[in-house]
Chain A
């Protein structure tokens, strides 16, 4: 049990420790950026320099922000591993998935939209998904189009198709395997395929899947990731707003046109084609102008349709992304809620354990002191009796402190139940006063009562008694001579007003505001201190609040204090909102 308390405390301390703040721009920043081969998006060009769409964007942002960039080349899989390990600061071209969001930090601005396509050799006999049955498919290891929830593996398994996957390190290798008949089909991103299908003599199939938004990503636990993401997001937002920005120029440069297959067509073909064209020109005569106009219009319309289709696709993707985000946030909130419930449970366990652990030794102390004082084991002499009475009183005091602390903890944890009941207030107050009379007599103080007859109220009797007991006991404690007056009356036919007044030391005006704060004792100093923890009034005000009422204090320093408790005579439970 002791060990358990230790762990509960340790957990609470850990949870309370603060997250350190960060400063990333205090010195020139060198960013390590992951680089892999996926032309034209990101790749190493023939002169060995990083190139492609993503390189344009990050290069531009780095220039603007005065960052140095160190590219760290590797396969896709290696890049992702480095990102996980925090060995690189930024990884471009990462498709969003929920699973990835658990391990990487994503920028919130998407940079590019892509999807994946299955490519085959011409005449390979594969046209649609079901044709993949029994075939070997080359894929990029750890890519979202392989492992993602809409990836090729999920796709074939949804259709109960059995095929073998060859996982390789780059899209180039994927196409090589298909070209060399080591694989029947290969999966690549649309842009890679578009650019390279001719070089490898491959063609795309109707199997198009995994539309995804691509982002910059950052290591999840790096202290600079948050600020990096914010800066990059702001830059991309700015770039997207400007039609002439590097963003649109680079999109156009890398994806706008299909590159010519240089050297594939010998020059004589052009010459002879030129000759033929000349003949046609001559024979077609005036028809040419008309035809070219029709063609130009058709081209325009086709382009327009293409553009609209793209916009529509983009919109769908955004919609999907939004849904993913909502789902993600919901999951996060659910998880946070579970954590809170767990903390709450730990607190209850802690309270129950503490209560038990503290009461067990007190049982022996109070029990044995009691039977000794009762003379059960034998007669005591006067001095023994006096000293044991001190032990008994102090043990009783310790017990009431433990009870106060537990009560406050329970109230703060919302674990106090109010049990309303109809009862006679005058009778209840009388019981409390009788209970306190011995203590008053000991200090030669008179308790005067002025309580109306037949006051019936509906409230929690036990809690009301606890409040009044606390107030009267306080009044006695802080009064050296004179009287303690307890009065009670009904106000406006709806409130019970109880006043406990004393002729004691009173409270200095500057102390009044601290009166109902926990662990604060008015007039306390290191040399002279009244008994108590300073929890009594705090507990009373909490309890009064639970009963739907309030408590306030009036005092004249040197002349006495009057505490007023106001409660509704009919306790009404607060309806949960």
Chain B
């Protein structure tokens, strides 16, 4: 069973993503802030990480950089799932090391297909 890690501080959004992922047969690992997310990513080695950008401690861009730099988790694809939609936000996430970018609000009809490209 493949593991998908969700780093997200909004409970409703976390529930939404966990529900969809579990329905599609993935194991979900949850983290609610950036530092926990980085630590758990290194330890648990998920197959994919969904990263919110605005987080309570370090932001998603910084968390992404830290995960990408690590030896153990550096190769895990990270997808930014963010409600920032200003000019250059997409570029910023890709620069930080994300492999993909999904804008919130997510479209549940296409969301899983997008993820499956990376799994």
CB-nearest residue of chain B to A376: B23
Interfacial chain B residues near A348, Cβ < 8 Å: 86
Contact with A370, one of B13, B83, B87, B107 (Cβ below 8 angstroms)? B107
Q: Does A513 count as interface, using CB distance less than 8 angstroms?
A: no
Partner of B12, one of A351, A352, A364, A371: A364
A367 contacts the other chain (CB 8 A): yes
Q: Given the complex of chains A and B, what is the CA–CA distance between A348 and B86 in angstroms?
A: 9
What is the bound-complex CA distance between A416 and B86, given in angstroms?
9
Give Cα A353 to B10, complex, Å: 16
Q: Which of A178-186, A323-331, A355-363 contacts B (4 or more CB under 8 A)?
A: A355-363
CB-based nearest B residue for A360: B83
Cβ 8 A contact of B16, one of A359, A371, A417 = A371
**B86 near A355: Cβ-Cβ < 8 Å:** yes
Docked complex Cα distance between A355 and B53 (Å): 14
A395-435: contact bitstring with B at CB < 8 Å (1 yes, 0 no)?
A: 10001000100100010000111000000000000000000
Per-residue CB contact flags for chain B residues 1-35 toward chain A (1 = under 8 Å, else 0) read: 00000000010110010011001000000000000
Does B69 have its Cβ within 8 Å of any Cβ on chain A? no
- Nearest Cβ distance between residue A244 and chain B, in whole angstroms? 69
Give the distance in Å from the alpha carbon of A363 to the alpha carbon of B107 in the complex. Answer: 9
Q: Contacts A374-B109, A376-B23, A399-B105; is A363 near B86 (CB within 8 Å)?
A: no
A365 to B16: give the CA distance in the assembly, Å: 10
Nearest Cβ distance between residue B39 and chain A, in whole angstroms?
25
B21-65 interface (Cβ within 8 A of A): 23, 54
Contacts of B86 in A (CB 8 A): 348, 351-352, 355, 410, 415
Contact status of A376 and B20, CB under 8 A, knowing A355-B84, A356-B83 = yes
The interface centre, meaning the residue of A348, A370, A374 with most chain B CB atoms within 10 A of its CB, is A370
With A and B bound together, what is the CA distance between A348 and B88 in angstroms?
12
Q: Known contacts A370-B109, A371-B20, A376-B19: does B85 contact A364 (CB below 8 Å)?
A: no
Q: How far is the CB of A348 from chain B (nearest CB, A)?
A: 7
Decide: A363 and B106 in contact? CB cutoff 8 A: yes
What are the interface flags for A108-124 relative to B under an 8 Å C-beta threshold, 1 for contact and 0 otherwise? 00000000000000000
A366 at interface by CB-CB < 8 Å:
yes
| CB contact between B19 and one of A371, A406, A417 (< 8 Å): that residue | A371
Chain B interface: which size bin? 10 to 19
* Complex CA–CA separation, A406 to B84 (angstroms): 11
Q: Which residues of A contact B107 (CB under 8 A)?
A: 366, 370
- Across the interface, which residues of A come within 8 angstroms of B75, CB to CB? none
Q: Mark A334-363, 1 if CB is under 8 A from B, else 0.
A: 000000000000001001100110011011
Main secondary structure of the interface of B (DSSP, over half): loop
CB distance from B21 to the nearest CB of A (A): 11
Q: How far is the CB of A363 from chain B (nearest CB, A)?
A: 4
Give the interface centre of B83, B105, B109 by most chain A CB atoms within 10 Å.
Answer: B105
Write out the residue numbers on chain B whose beta carbons fall within 8 Å of the beta carbon of A368: 12, 16
Once bound together, how far apart are the Cα atoms of A363 and B10, in whole Å? Answer: 10
A356 touching B13, Cβ below 8 Å? no
- B87-A359 in contact (CB<8A): no
Given A351-B86, A367-B16, A368-B16, CB of A360 within 8 Å of CB of B104 = yes
Cβ contacts under 8 Å, A365 to chain B: 105
CB-contact partner of B85 in A359, A374, A376, A417, under 8 A = A359
Nearest CB on A from B15, distance (A): 8
Most buried by B among A351, A364, A399: A364
In the complex, are the beta carbons of B87 and A417 less than 8 A apart?
A: yes
Query: With A368-B16, A371-B16, A376-B19 known to touch, is A363 a contact of B87 (CB < 8 Å)?
Result: no
Taking A351-B86, A406-B85 as contacts, is the C-beta distance between A363 and B105 under 8 angstroms?
A: yes
Closest A residue by C-beta to B89: A352
Asked if A363 and B54 make an inter-chain contact with CB atoms under 8 angstroms apart, the answer reads no
Given contacts A355-B84, A359-B83, contact A374 B108 (CB under 8 A): yes
CB distance from A388 to the nearest CB of B (A): 12
Contact present for B84 and A416 (CB under 8 Å): no
When C-beta atoms are compared, the residue in chain B nearest to A358 turns out to be B83
- Measured between beta carbons, the chain A residues less than 8 angstroms from B16 are 363-364, 367-368, 371
- A360 proximity list for chain B (CB < 8 A): 10, 13, 83, 104
Question: Cβ of B87: which chain A residues have Cβ within 8 Å of it?
Answer: 410, 415-417
Chain B hits for A363, CB < 8 A = 10, 12-13, 16, 83, 104-106
In the assembled complex, the CB of A409 is this many whole angstroms from the nearest CB of chain B, namely 10
From B20, B84, B105, contact of A362 by CB (8 A): B105
Q: A363-B105, A371-B16, A416-B87 are in contact. List 6 more A-B contacts (CB 8 A).
A: A356-B83, A364-B10, A367-B106, A376-B20, A410-B86, A415-B86
**What are 22 A-B contacts with C-beta separation under 8 Å?**
A348-B86, A351-B86, A352-B84, A355-B86, A356-B54, A359-B83, A359-B105, A360-B10, A360-B83, A363-B13, A363-B16, A363-B105, A364-B16, A366-B105, A366-B106, A366-B108, A367-B106, A370-B109, A376-B19, A376-B20, A415-B87, A417-B87
Closest 8 CB pairs of A and B: A370-B108, A359-B83, A363-B105, A364-B12, A366-B105, A363-B104, A367-B16, A362-B105
Interface of A toward B, CB cutoff 8 Å: 348, 351-352, 355-356, 359-360, 362-368, 370-371, 374, 376-377, 395, 399, 403, 406, 410, 415-417
